[in-house]
């Protein structure tokens, strides 16, 4: 069977007063005369998500004992059992740039200052009041694959960056971002969902401009209502349904963001220890951030995102994990088994939260599959045992089909002390970005 219709550009935007919203992939975007059976030959563009969790893990409860496909899920990773076919557990990697170089002070707590900045750069952050590290993996991909989208990349966080400064001998930007556009320029990580939403879909760049846009239009969707009605008349039934579902998702996120904004607009309301525009509770906050990433991927506003689930050295508590200890304190287990067990519970909680993101991606249709089929999500840390402040071996996961570029269902074990940069070099090659080296790489991993 062939599709016979007027072709709709993949870059079609719904426009209103000062507003433009990109569309999800619709059947009408497949060129007329294309066989339905062959739509898989033109898959959706791959997406890349990089998620950082500080302080490492209780590695004995993280690492499977068997290699290859016949591995058993460990206590920490058990929540991801349903995604075995799209999961790769990567063992044997190290990130030496986290540690001191010759002539520098010993590592120890200073490794916390370097860990976040070294995660995606695999380069050594130099001490001093001026940043000097390297271009991050996500930005290399954005430079090559993100130029066809309105935003080459988005950078997200759960904690505010201005609360994550540590040692005065290091610039605060090392702890504040994992995304580096140049060796000296860290991209700011935004933790306010409302500002993220308005960056993705809004028109204003300042608070005054955004308030004026909200005054002029009850919502983004209200401002494009006429364009939606006009486009709907041209679409087949299945596309109209898909468009309506997508716009309802936009409206739901818009509603949730507006609720937060409305509550916090009441000056008599005291919200201790929470910046304006941030939902109460870690779960509500990160769930909204995950929704925004899914929506950004789905609308093709961006294909590359980074997210810091917590700040380096953060001592935030996660009440729903069942662990009352602060995150950083819990990672310093003093080599007592009960404390290691407690930290493993916290690691498992973070994986459970992460699974919610994969559930959203897997439930979102995209071309001939789901967003999870067409995405690669990297999750990991720059530390192994935070009690020792070491960086070898690291907890690293790859999840998603990446448009068929990477086989899943494996526990891949590499030679001890293999640079994390070697993985990035291999992934860049999978994305069609061919380089001789990256960071402190010594070769390319075949993933």
Distance, in Å, from the CA atom of 47 to the CA atom of 366, rounded to the nearest integer, reads: 11
Interval 6-20 mean pLDDT: 60
Dig out the tokens for 374 from the structure: 């067409």
Residue 422: exposed, middle, or buried by beta-carbon count in 10 A (0-12, 13-18, 19+)?
A: buried
Distance, in Å, from the CA atom of 168 to the CA atom of 364, rounded to the nearest integer, reads: 45
Residue pair 202/19 in contact (Cβ under 8 Å)? The answer is yes
Distance, in Å, from the CA atom of 122 to the CA atom of 427, rounded to the nearest integer, reads: 14
Dig out the tokens for 306 from the structure: 């980074």
pLDDT band at 248 (very low <50, low <70, confident <90, very high): confident
Give pLDDT, residue 6.
Answer: 52
Residue pair 406/398 in contact (Cβ under 8 Å)? The answer is yes
Give pLDDT, residue 14.
Answer: 65
Distance, in Å, from the CA atom of 274 to the CA atom of 158, rounded to the nearest integer, reads: 11
pLDDT band at 36 (very low <50, low <70, confident <90, very high): very low
Distance, in Å, from the CA atom of 303 to the CA atom of 153, rounded to the nearest integer, reads: 7
More reliable by pLDDT, 217 or 296? 296
Give pLDDT, residue 15.
Answer: 65
Distance, in Å, from the CA atom of 200 to the CA atom of 250, rounded to the nearest integer, reads: 11
- Per-residue pLDDT at 170 exceeds 60: yes
Q: Which domains does the chain have, with CATH numbers?
A: 47-191+300-447 (3.40.720), 201-277 (no CATH)
Residue 160: exposed, middle, or buried by beta-carbon count in 10 A (0-12, 13-18, 19+)?
A: middle
Interval 374-382 mean pLDDT: 98
More reliable by pLDDT, 58 or 209? 58
Max mean pLDDT among 4-13, 265-274, 356-365 falls in 356-365
Interval 83-95 mean pLDDT: 98
Q: Which range, of 183-197, 219-233, 372-386, 389-403, averages the lowest pLDDT?
A: 219-233
State percent of the chain over pLDDT 70.
76
Distance, in Å, from the CA atom of 285 to the CA atom of 345, rounded to the nearest integer, reads: 21
Give pLDDT, residue 269.
Answer: 37
Give pLDDT, residue 221.
Answer: 67
Give pLDDT, residue 314.
Answer: 92
Tell me the pLDDT of the chain averaged across its residues.
84
Residue 185: exposed, middle, or buried by beta-carbon count in 10 A (0-12, 13-18, 19+)?
A: middle
- Per-residue pLDDT at 266 exceeds 70: no
Q: What is the dihedral of CA 314, 315, 318, 324, to 10 degrees?
A: 160
What phi and psi values does residue 369 have, to the nearest 5 degrees? -160, -145
Interval 281-287 mean pLDDT: 93
More reliable by pLDDT, 242 or 305? 305
pLDDT band at 35 (very low <50, low <70, confident <90, very high): very low
- Per-residue pLDDT at 117 exceeds 80: yes
- Per-residue pLDDT at 329 exceeds 60: yes
Give pLDDT, residue 5.
Answer: 47
State percent of the chain over pLDDT 90.
58
Q: Which of 25, 45, 32, 42 is nearest to 6 (CA)?
A: 32
pLDDT band at 37 (very low <50, low <70, confident <90, very high): very low
Interval 114-142 mean pLDDT: 95
Residue pair 213/202 in contact (Cβ under 8 Å)? The answer is yes
Interval 110-119 mean pLDDT: 94
Residue pair 59/385 in contact (Cβ under 8 Å)? The answer is yes
- Per-residue pLDDT at 38 exceeds 60: no
pLDDT band at 334 (very low <50, low <70, confident <90, very high): very high
What phi and psi values does residue 250 have, to the nearest 5 degrees? -60, -45
Dig out the tokens for 313 from the structure: 């050295």
Give pLDDT, residue 421.
Answer: 98
- Per-residue pLDDT at 285 exceeds 80: yes
End-to-end CA distance of the chain: 37
Cα dihedral sign, 399-403-409-413: negative
Interval 370-375 mean pLDDT: 96
Peptide bond into 393 cis (omega under 30): yes
Give pLDDT, residue 273.
Answer: 33
3-state secondary structure of 339: helix
- Per-residue pLDDT at 34 exceeds 60: no
Q: Which range, of 13-27, 42-56, 132-146, averages the lowest pLDDT?
A: 13-27
Give pLDDT, residue 361.
Answer: 97
Give pLDDT, residue 109.
Answer: 82
């Amino acid at each position: 069977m062939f599709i016979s219709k007027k072709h709709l550009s993949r870059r079609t935007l719904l426009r209103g007063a000062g507003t433009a919203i990109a569309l999800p992939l619709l059947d009408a975007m497949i060129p007329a005369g294309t066989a339905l059976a062959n739509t898989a030959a033109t898959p959706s563009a791959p997406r890349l998500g990089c998620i950082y969790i500080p302080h490492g893990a209780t590695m004995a409860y993280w690492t499977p004992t068997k290699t290859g496909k016949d591995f058993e899920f460990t206590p920490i990773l058990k929540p991801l059992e349903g995604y075995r076919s799209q999961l790769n557990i990567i063992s044997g990697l190290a990130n030496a740039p986290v540690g001191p170089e010759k002539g520098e002070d010993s590592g120890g707590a200073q490794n916390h200052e370097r860990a976040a900045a070294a995660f995606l750069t695999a380069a050594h952050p130099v001490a001093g009041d001026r940043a000097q590290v390297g271009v991050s993996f996500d930005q290399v991909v954005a430079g090559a694959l993100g130029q066809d989208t309105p935003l080459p990349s988005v950078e997200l966080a759960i904690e505010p960056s201005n609360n994550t400064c540590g040692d005065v001998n290091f610039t605060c930007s090392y702890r504040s971002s994992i995304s580096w556009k140049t060796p000296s320029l860290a991209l700011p990580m935004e933790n306010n969902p409302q500002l993220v939403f308005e960056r993705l879909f809004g028109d204003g760049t300042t608070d005054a401009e955004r308030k004026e846009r909200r005054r002029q239009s009850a919502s983004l969707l209200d401002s494009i209502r006429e364009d939606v009605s006009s486009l709907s008349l041209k679409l087949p039934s299945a596309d109209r349904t898909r468009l309506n579902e997508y716009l309802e998702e936009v409206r739901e996120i818009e509603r949730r963001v507006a609720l937060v904004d409305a509550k916090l607009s009441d000056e008599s309301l005291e919200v201790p220890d929470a910046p304006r525009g941030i939902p109460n509770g870690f779960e509500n906050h990160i769930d909204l951030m995950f929704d925004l990433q899914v929506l950004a991927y789905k609308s093709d506003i961006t294909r590359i995102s980074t997210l810091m689930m917590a700040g380096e050295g953060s001592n935030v508590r996660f009440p729903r994990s069942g662990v009352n200890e602060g995150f950083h304190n819990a990672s310093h287990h003093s080599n007592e088994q009960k404390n290691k067990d407690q930290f493993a519970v916290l690691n498992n909680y973070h994986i459970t939260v992460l699974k919610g993101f994969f559930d959203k991606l897997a439930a979102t249709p995209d071309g001939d599959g789901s967003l999870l089929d067409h995405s690669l999500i990297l999750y990991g840390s720059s530390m192994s045992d935070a009690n020792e402040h070491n960086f070898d071996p690291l907890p690293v996961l790859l999840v998603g089909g990446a448009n068929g570029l990477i086989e899943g269902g494996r526990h891949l074990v590499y030679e001890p002390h293999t640079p994390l940069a070697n993985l990035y070099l291999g992934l860049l090659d999978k994305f069609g970005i061919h380089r001789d080296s990256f960071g402190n790489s010594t070769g390319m991993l075949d993933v």
